[in-house]
A and B are shown apart, each in its own frame.
Chain A
Amino acid sequence: MTITIPQPWTWANGDTPDFREMNQRTSDMVNFLLNPPFIRLRKVTVQTITTSTTTNVSWDYLEVESDEMWSSADPTKIKPTTPGWYVGNAGYSFNSNTTGYREMNVIKNGDSSNPIIRVKNDAYSAGGAVVSRGNLFMINFNGSTDYIQMTVWHNVGSNQDMLAAAIEHQCDFSLLWLAPL
């Protein structure tokens, strides 16, 4: 379902709006601004990541959505149907291991060569989970074909799990409509 972005009305002398026009020219605009297209996804089950393999995060918990941007049938993709600029936020975690480094990328339309945001973290030398949440970015969508995914990577040498037991560790992803194109 595409949410139509209301257009501002320029009032002229003599305008005598009926109730439908008052809704179109005022209430619809305010309702859109009070409830902009918004989605937040979390990863609440463990996903095992093969070493040295870029892997799409497969989302499995839809916390909130106002614009049908995600489907469990295609769980790695978020596809806004309302065009515009969005402010996004993404984060990931891996279980405890002292080897190598971890990397998260947010990519648009499958283009891994030009990530929207890239976050890298060394494994902690004394051990402990690698957690990086709250990474902010901005991005635009055409509302039809554009989509976005989050990928992760590590080079531990063996499979590693992304943590999911506690909210503080769960990978998450959100988009909030900010402005028209």
Chain B
Amino acid sequence: MAFSVPTVHNWLAGDEINAVRMNEIAAQIDFVRNPPMAHVGRASSTQNLSGATWNKIVFDTLHSTDPYEMWDAGATDRLTCTIPGWYSVEGVITVSSTANEGAVVLGIYKNGFTANEFQLRHDQQNAPSSGAVNIRKEFRVFLNVDDWIHLGEYHTDAVTRTSATVGTWEHSQLRMRWVSN
């Protein structure tokens, strides 16, 4: 299904105020009141994360409604843009920890998962050795229709860790929200 930002009418002399025009206004207000947004998480089960390599987080839970169909059950490693615009993108990685671990890195990628598509990075050096490591970061990016976003995790030591699930909300997550044309 194709979506679009509501068109804003430029009123001209002689224009009739009728139900069509008033419903256009209602649609515009509804859009800004409830813009495209999707929020997914790796909440139901842990995911193995290999050491010293980038891991793409695969999501298993849709936390929000998704009227603009940004999450596809057939492509659970991403959120895909269906209306162009500037988006607020927030990523959270929750990584199981052990003693003597090195750095844990959060990465957000656009339209791929190589260095060329790497958009945002945050390194947490000398990560805590007790409890899960949580990193939450947000940024703004322009997306066209069919552009997509991946969430990635990297840790420097060779040990396989897991994308942890702790309680209700401590797990890896990705959120995208339309903020502007």
A positions within 8 Å CB-CB of B = 17-20, 22-23, 26-27, 30-31, 33-36, 38, 40, 64, 66, 89, 91, 93, 121-126, 128-136, 166-169, 172, 174, 176
Contact = CB atoms under 8 A, between A and B. Distances in A.
Interface in B133-152: 137-140, 142
B158 interface: no
Contacts of B10: 23, 27
B120 A124 contact: no
A169 B107 CA distance: 11
Nearest to B28: A30
A22 B88 CA distance: 31
A144 B15 CA distance: 38
Interface of B: 5-6, 8-15, 17, 25, 28-29, 31-32, 86, 88, 91, 102-103, 105-108, 115, 118-123, 125-126, 137-140, 142, 156, 179-181
Given A30-B8, A35-B181, A124 B17 contact: no
A125 B125 contact: yes
Given A122-B125, A123-B125, A124-B123, 14 more contacts: A19-B11, A23-B10, A27-B11, A30-B29, A36-B179, A89-B139, A125-B126, A131-B121, A132-B122, A133-B137, A134-B139, A169-B121, A174-B139, A174-B140
Contacts of B14: 19
Chain A to chain B: the 10 pairs with minimum beta-carbon distance, closest first: A134-B137, A19-B11, A124-B125, A168-B118, A22-B11, A168-B121, A33-B32, A30-B28, A23-B11, A131-B123
Contact of B140 (A26, A40, A131): A40
A103 B115 CA distance: 26
B85 to A, nearest CB: 9
Q: Most B CB atoms within 10 A — which of A126, A166, A167?
A: A167
A130 to B, nearest CB: 7
Chief secondary structure at chain A's binding surface: mixed
Contact of B123 (A31, A33, A121, A166): A121
A135 B121 CA distance: 11
A122 B125 CA distance: 7
Contacts of B156: 126, 128
Given A126-B102, A134-B139, A34 B11 contact: no
B99 to A, nearest CB: 15
Contacts of B5: 34
Contact of B25 (A26, A36, A40, A129): A26
Nearest to B102: A126
Contacts of B122: 91, 131-134
18 contacts: A23-B10, A27-B10, A27-B11, A34-B31, A36-B179, A36-B180, A64-B142, A89-B140, A124-B123, A124-B126, A126-B103, A128-B123, A133-B137, A134-B108, A134-B137, A134-B138, A134-B139, A174-B140
B118 A166 contact: yes
